[in-house]
Amino acid sequence: MKSIRALLVSLLVLPTVASATVPAGVETVFTAAATDFGTIVGYGWTLFLVIVGGLILFGIVKKVIARSAGR
């Protein structure tokens, strides 16, 4: 019986806690962080594509050299 009461009390208390207002300035901080994260991810993708492209190009050059040396 106590556990049911505790559950009911927690269900009544949780919505009021979850609907608390966000302090001023927090939205600005999260917006700036999201912008910075997007920039970092963009740089990461660029670096990833350069590395993968370089590896593919290296493999092609290696095959061309092997074929030209074999003839």
Can you give the pLDDT at residue 27?
Answer: 85
Domain total in the chain? 1
Classify 24 as helix, strand or coil. coil
Q: Residues of the chain whose pLDDT is less than 70? A: 11, 13-20, 71
Q: What is the pTM of this model?
A: 0.52
Does residue 50 lie within any of the structural domains?
Answer: yes
Does residue 66 lie within any of the structural domains?
Answer: yes
Domain hosting 39: range is: 24-71
Does residue 65 lie within any of the structural domains?
Answer: yes
Does residue 68 lie within any of the structural domains?
Answer: yes
Does residue 37 lie within any of the structural domains?
Answer: yes
Does residue 32 lie within any of the structural domains?
Answer: yes
Can you give the pLDDT at residue 10?
Answer: 72
Q: How many H-runs (helices) and E-runs (strands) does the chain carry?
A: 2, 0
Does residue 29 lie within any of the structural domains?
Answer: yes
